[in-house]
Chain A
C-alpha cells in the first residue's frame, strides 16, 4: 500500500476539518486564548501556525473534534467564524481612486459583507439549530433590519449568504464602472449588518449566551481603511457578544489606529500572541509542542514511536560527543577545583559541543547533523520549518522503497538521510539568499547583494566564535548596539526583507540590565549546517554594532578577536576545521 507522508506541510486552508482537528496541538502555544472573550492578535511569519490556530477554533473543526471525542451535543458557548482576508475582494484597489470618505465606506462594505457571509456559512453548517418558526422569524427580522426582504431560500442562513453575495457583486459592478468616482450608494457598515445579525442570533434559544469569535486571517492584506475600521470594532467596550481574533504577519503588521483617529492598545483592547516561539530546548514550550506535533503525525500512519527514536542521532556523533564531554569535564574539574557539581555540569553543557566542532578535521565532511533535537533547533521555533525537513526525510526513505510501505514499515529515518536532507535544505537557504531580489517584493538587486554579504559575514563570525571564543562559543543570535537614526534607515529595511524571506526572526528577551527586555535577531538556523556551525543551543546573543553590520553588508568582516588557540584534532589527528 502506498504510504502517505505524515509531515505534509501544505497551507492549513487546504486541510480538511477532520485533519486539522486531528493534527492540531492545543498545548504550549497560547491557542486557548482564542476560546475567550478577549480580542487577540496572533502575529508571526508564514508557517508559524496562525491559520491552523484560527481554523482549529472555527466551529466546523470544533464540532468535528467534539464528534470524534463522542460529545453528543457541542456546546455553542464559543462560535468560531473563520474569515480569510487574502482574497481577491481584499486586493481590490479601486477605493484609492476615491476620496477618503467614500474609500472608507466601500472598504468597510466589502469587509462587513465578507464577515456576514462567513457568519451565515458557519451557522448554515449546523443542522437543526433553528425550528421552522425561528427560521421564519429570523428571516423576517433580518429583512426588517436590512430594509428589504431577504432573497428566497428555504433556510435563513442561505438567504443571508445570497443577500451578501448579491450586494458584493452589485457593489463591485458599480465600483468597476468607467467613471473615475464610481461608488456604490448602498454601502453597508459593520454596525448596519454584522452587529444586528449577531444580535438576532443571540436571541435564538440554541445560541443564547453564545460568544462569536470573528477570526480574521491574513489581516495584513486588508487595506488601510479596513484596518482602521477593524480597529474601531476592536475598541468596542462590550465584548459579551463578539470578539476579534486577528492573525497577521509581523512584517507589515496592520497599524493600531482607529477610523476616528484614536488607537487601540495592547493589554487594554487586545492581547498580542507571538506565534513564533523564542526557545527550542527540549522542555521549552516549543520543544514540547514539537514533540507532540511529530508524535501525532507519526501516530496517524500507525507509528507509535518517540520522535527521538524515529529521528535518531548518528552513533558516531554520539560517541565523539561523549569523548568531548570527558575532555571538557576534566578541564572543568581542573578549572573549578572547589566548584559545585552544578558549576561543572553547566561548564560541560556549554562547551562539549563546541569542543566537538573544534576538534574536527578541517578536511572532514560536514558533521553528521541528525536527531530530533537538532531538527527542533533548526526550525528556529516555526512549525513549518520543523515539518519541512521531516517531510523530505520521510519522502527520501519512502522513495528508497519505491513509495510503498515495506513489510516492516518505516521504523526510523536513518541518520545519514537526515544529514543529507539537512545539508540540502541548508544549501537551499543560501541559494535563496543569492536571489532574494527575485523572491521578495521590494528587494532590489543591491539589497539582495548586501543581505548575502551580511549573512555570509554573520556565518563567518559565528563559525569563528564556535572555534575560538572562550566564554560564549555557541552564540547564534545577535542584538544591535549603536543603532542611530542613520543606521536605522539603512539597516532595518534590509533586515525586514530578510524577515519577509523567513531568513531572520525577531525575538524579545531579557536584557542584561535587570528588568529590561530587548529585541534580538535570530537568523534561521537552517542556514548554519552547510557552514559547519552548530545549530543546537541558544546560549548567548552577540551584541553587534550597527556600524559593523552595515560594513558587513558591504562584504567586510565583523570584528572578532580570538580569545584562545584551537585545540588539537581529537578524531583524526588533524588541526581545526577552517571553513569560510
Chain B
C-alpha cells in the first residue's frame, strides 16, 4: 500500500508507537504528520521521541504539529494550515484514528477531503483498557466546525447518540441539547460486558424519551446502514444532532452520515481528564477508506 501522508495523534498509549511502527513496516509511507496536544505534551514527549527516532531510522520524513485541545478554533486553523501545506490533490492519505480525539478525526477528514485527498483510515485496538475510568470531567458539548449541519427553523431536534459504557455522558448530552426525543444506537455484542454495562444501563434511562436501534461499529460500514435506517424517517421535519460515545470506528459512520445528510450536526463532548493508563498493548486493526 502506498501512502503519501500518514496522519496520527501522539499519545502515551502503547498503541500509538506500536501502530505507527506496524503501519510503516507494512506500507510504503512517504511522510508522517503527528499532531499532539499542548495540554498533554509532557505525557507524550517520550512516545514522540520514539516515533521520531523510528521514522528517521526508516527514512520516513516526520513533522510534528501542536494543537490546543481546549481551543478548538485554534486547533482547526492549525490542522488546516498543516494539511494545506502537506496534501496535494489525489494524494493517498492514511489517518490513524486509534488515539485521535473524534473532533480531530472529523476535522482532518473534512479538510483533507476538501483538498482532494483520497482518504484511508486505520484503527488499532489495544490489548486491553484500564479497569478504572478512561476519561472524565466532560466539558460543554460543542458542534464540530463545518460539520454542524444545515439547521431548519421551526422544527424539533432529535439527538442520535451512539452509546458507550458511560450512561451519564449520554444523559448529559440529552440535558444539554434537550431534544424532543433521543435515538439511542446501542452497540451489539458481548465484548467488554457490553450488554450489562452499555445496553441494559441505557435502556434503564429514567425520565428520557428515547427509541433504540442496534448498531455495530465494528461492521464493515461501522454501523452506517443501521444509523441511516434509524434517522431516515426524520430527515424532512427534524434537526438531527449526532454524537458518538461508543467504539471509535462509529465516528467514521457518523462522518459519512453527515456528508450524506447535511441536516445532521456532529456534536463532540471534550473530556478534561484522561487516564494515563488508558490502555495497553496493541491488537488487531480495523481499516477502510472513506
Q: Contact at A89–B139, with CB atoms within 8 Å?
A: no
B85 vs chain A, min Cβ distance (A): 14
**Is A113 an interface residue, CB under 8 A from the partner?**
yes
Q: Contact at A445–B73, with CB atoms within 8 Å?
A: no
A178 CB contact (under 8 Å) in B72, B146, B273? B146
Provide the residues of chain A in CB contact with B227, threshold 8 Å.
none
**Is B233 an interface residue, CB under 8 A from the partner?**
no
Provide the residues of chain B in CB contact with A91, threshold 8 Å.
142-143, 148, 177, 265, 267
Q: Contact at A161–B148, with CB atoms within 8 Å?
A: no
B139 CB contact (under 8 Å) in A88, A113, A173, A441? A441
B237 vs chain A, min Cβ distance (A): 12
**Is B50 an interface residue, CB under 8 A from the partner?**
no
* Residue of chain A at shortest CB distance from B178: A86
Provide the residues of chain B in CB contact with A88, threshold 8 Å.
143, 148-149, 151, 157, 239, 241, 265
- Which among B8-16, B27-35, B166-174 touches the partner chain? B166-174
Q: Contact at B77–A439, with CB atoms within 8 Å?
A: no
**Is B89 an interface residue, CB under 8 A from the partner?**
no
A409 vs chain B, min Cβ distance (A): 26
* Residue of chain B at shortest CB distance from A178: B114
**Given A86-B178, A93-B72, A93-B145, do A438 and B168 touch, yes or no (CB 8 Å)?**
yes
**Is B134 an interface residue, CB under 8 A from the partner?**
no
B221 vs chain A, min Cβ distance (A): 24
A169 CB contact (under 8 Å) in B111, B139, B152? B152
**Given A97-B77, A435-B168, do A176 and B152 touch, yes or no (CB 8 Å)?**
no
Q: Contact at B273–A444, with CB atoms within 8 Å?
A: yes
A window 74-95: CB within 8 A of B? 86-89, 91-94
**Is A164 an interface residue, CB under 8 A from the partner?**
yes
**Is B137 an interface residue, CB under 8 A from the partner?**
yes
**Is B154 an interface residue, CB under 8 A from the partner?**
yes
A554 vs chain B, min Cβ distance (A): 19
Provide the residues of chain B in CB contact with A113, threshold 8 Å.
153
* Residue of chain B at shortest CB distance from A117: B153
**Is B61 an interface residue, CB under 8 A from the partner?**
no
**Is A260 an interface residue, CB under 8 A from the partner?**
no
Provide the residues of chain B in CB contact with A437, threshold 8 Å.
136-137
Q: Contact at B142–A93, with CB atoms within 8 Å?
A: yes
A140-168 vs B: 1/0 string, CB under 8 Å? 00000000000000000000010011001
Q: Contact at B77–A180, with CB atoms within 8 Å?
A: yes
Provide the residues of chain B in CB contact with A173, threshold 8 Å.
150, 262
**Is B285 an interface residue, CB under 8 A from the partner?**
no
> In the complex, what distance in Å separates the CA atom of A443 from the CA atom of B169?
13
Q: Contact at B111–A178, with CB atoms within 8 Å?
A: yes
Provide the residues of chain A in CB contact with B152, threshold 8 Å.
165, 168-169
B272 CB contact (under 8 Å) in A92, A117, A161, A444? A444
Q: Contact at B150–A169, with CB atoms within 8 Å?
A: yes
> In the complex, what distance in Å separates the CA atom of A512 from the CA atom of B8?
62
* Residue of chain B at shortest CB distance from A98: B73
**Is B218 an interface residue, CB under 8 A from the partner?**
no
* Residue of chain B at shortest CB distance from A445: B136
Q: Contact at A93–B239, with CB atoms within 8 Å?
A: no
> In the complex, what distance in Å separates the CA atom of A178 from the CA atom of B137?
31
A493 vs chain B, min Cβ distance (A): 13
Provide the residues of chain B in CB contact with A176, threshold 8 Å.
146-150
**Given A91-B143, A92-B148, A93-B72, do A441 and B172 touch, yes or no (CB 8 Å)?**
yes
> In the complex, what distance in Å separates the CA atom of A435 from the CA atom of B149?
33
> In the complex, what distance in Å separates the CA atom of A13 from the CA atom of B177?
13
Q: Contact at A94–B146, with CB atoms within 8 Å?
A: yes
Which of A14, A93, A439, A444 has the most chain B CB within a 10 Å cutoff? A93
* Residue of chain B at shortest CB distance from A89: B151
**Is A401 an interface residue, CB under 8 A from the partner?**
no
Q: Contact at A89–B153, with CB atoms within 8 Å?
A: yes
Provide the residues of chain A in CB contact with B143, threshold 8 Å.
88, 91-93
> In the complex, what distance in Å separates the CA atom of A183 from the CA atom of B190?
47
Provide the residues of chain A in CB contact with B77, threshold 8 Å.
97, 180
**Given A87-B239, A88-B239, A178-B146, do A442 and B139 touch, yes or no (CB 8 Å)?**
yes
B42-84 vs A: 1/0 string, CB under 8 Å? 0000000000000000000000000000001100110010000
**Given A86-B178, A180-B80, A439-B171, do A92 and B140 touch, yes or no (CB 8 Å)?**
no
**Is B110 an interface residue, CB under 8 A from the partner?**
yes
Provide the residues of chain A in CB contact with B114, threshold 8 Å.
178
B111-147 vs A: 1/0 string, CB under 8 Å? 1001000000000000000000000111111110111
> In the complex, what distance in Å separates the CA atom of A113 from the CA atom of B152?
11
B276 vs chain A, min Cβ distance (A): 14
Q: Contact at B148–A438, with CB atoms within 8 Å?
A: no
Q: Contact at A92–B151, with CB atoms within 8 Å?
A: yes
**Is A11 an interface residue, CB under 8 A from the partner?**
yes
**Is A506 an interface residue, CB under 8 A from the partner?**
no
**Is B290 an interface residue, CB under 8 A from the partner?**
no
> In the complex, what distance in Å separates the CA atom of A443 from the CA atom of B273?
11
Provide the residues of chain A in CB contact with B166, threshold 8 Å.
438
B238 vs chain A, min Cβ distance (A): 10
**Is A172 an interface residue, CB under 8 A from the partner?**
yes
Q: Contact at A96–B148, with CB atoms within 8 Å?
A: no
* Residue of chain A at shortest CB distance from B181: A14
Provide the residues of chain A in CB contact with B267, threshold 8 Å.
91
**Is A114 an interface residue, CB under 8 A from the partner?**
yes
**Is B180 an interface residue, CB under 8 A from the partner?**
yes
> In the complex, what distance in Å separates the CA atom of A96 from the CA atom of B138?
21
* Residue of chain A at shortest CB distance from B144: A93
Provide the residues of chain A in CB contact with B80, threshold 8 Å.
180
Q: Contact at A97–B151, with CB atoms within 8 Å?
A: no
A148 vs chain B, min Cβ distance (A): 19
Q: Tell me the A residues contacting B by CB distance below 8 Å.
A: 11, 13-14, 86-89, 91-94, 96-97, 113-114, 117-118, 121, 161, 164-165, 168-169, 172-173, 176-178, 180, 435, 437-439, 441-445
Question: A92-B151, A438-B172 provided; 19 other pairs, C-beta below 8 A?
Answer: A13-B178, A86-B177, A86-B178, A87-B151, A93-B73, A93-B148, A97-B76, A113-B153, A114-B153, A168-B153, A172-B149, A172-B150, A176-B147, A178-B110, A438-B169, A439-B168, A441-B138, A441-B141, A442-B272
A-B contacts, 14 of them at CB < 8 A, read A88-B143, A88-B151, A88-B157, A88-B241, A94-B148, A96-B73, A117-B153, A121-B154, A165-B154, A176-B147, A438-B138, A439-B172, A442-B272, A444-B272
